[in-house]
Structure 1
């Protein structure tokens, strides 16, 4: 459960940080919006170091699946675009892949 919460927190932090750059460059928001965005990206990187994994690459690969699912939720709740069946199917496939990577017997 702790690992899942770390991955979710990291995904939110990365999405918020990257969205700050999107907002500045694509939506015309003021440049100061990058300051909390950079802080959020630092938080994202730190959170990933807290994941219990013997290999960073495995943690990052698992995180990728979580990131995709959280991005679809961001699309819906933050940007107001309801995900379609392809968004949901793709995110579900990624979550299955993430579970296989992190929970597979070693």
Structure 2
């Protein structure tokens, strides 16, 4: 379930941030901010569903998922192919996220 929550959070955050990007950088209507704010609120709520012993740890691990999801957005929505350095960086970040979230904790 954790992976699903992280993927939903990433989708909501990226969509919300893109709405602001569209308004400010792509000269879209300010009405883009309405779904953008809804998406960002959904992101915050969804991230609370992640099973982790501390918020900071959940957020830190989420960072790797966000990076990989952002590159998927780059490819699927913006139609720009991530290069090998993007992909290598995403793998490194996902490995780090896994270590943070799944690493053994001393008691």
Smaller-chain TM-score bracket: over 0.9
1:1-106, aligned counterparts within 5 Å? 2-106=1-105
TM-score under structure 1 length normalisation: 0.98
CA shift for structure 1 position 54: 1.2
> Unaligned regions of 5+ residues in structure 1, if any?
none
Query: Across the two proteins, how many residue pairs are aligned to each other?
Result: 105
TM-score under structure 2 length normalisation: 0.97
1:12 and 1:69 map into 2 onto residues whose CA distance is 11
1:51 and 1:76 map into 2 onto residues whose CA distance is 26
2:5 and 2:50 map into 1 onto residues whose CA distance is 7
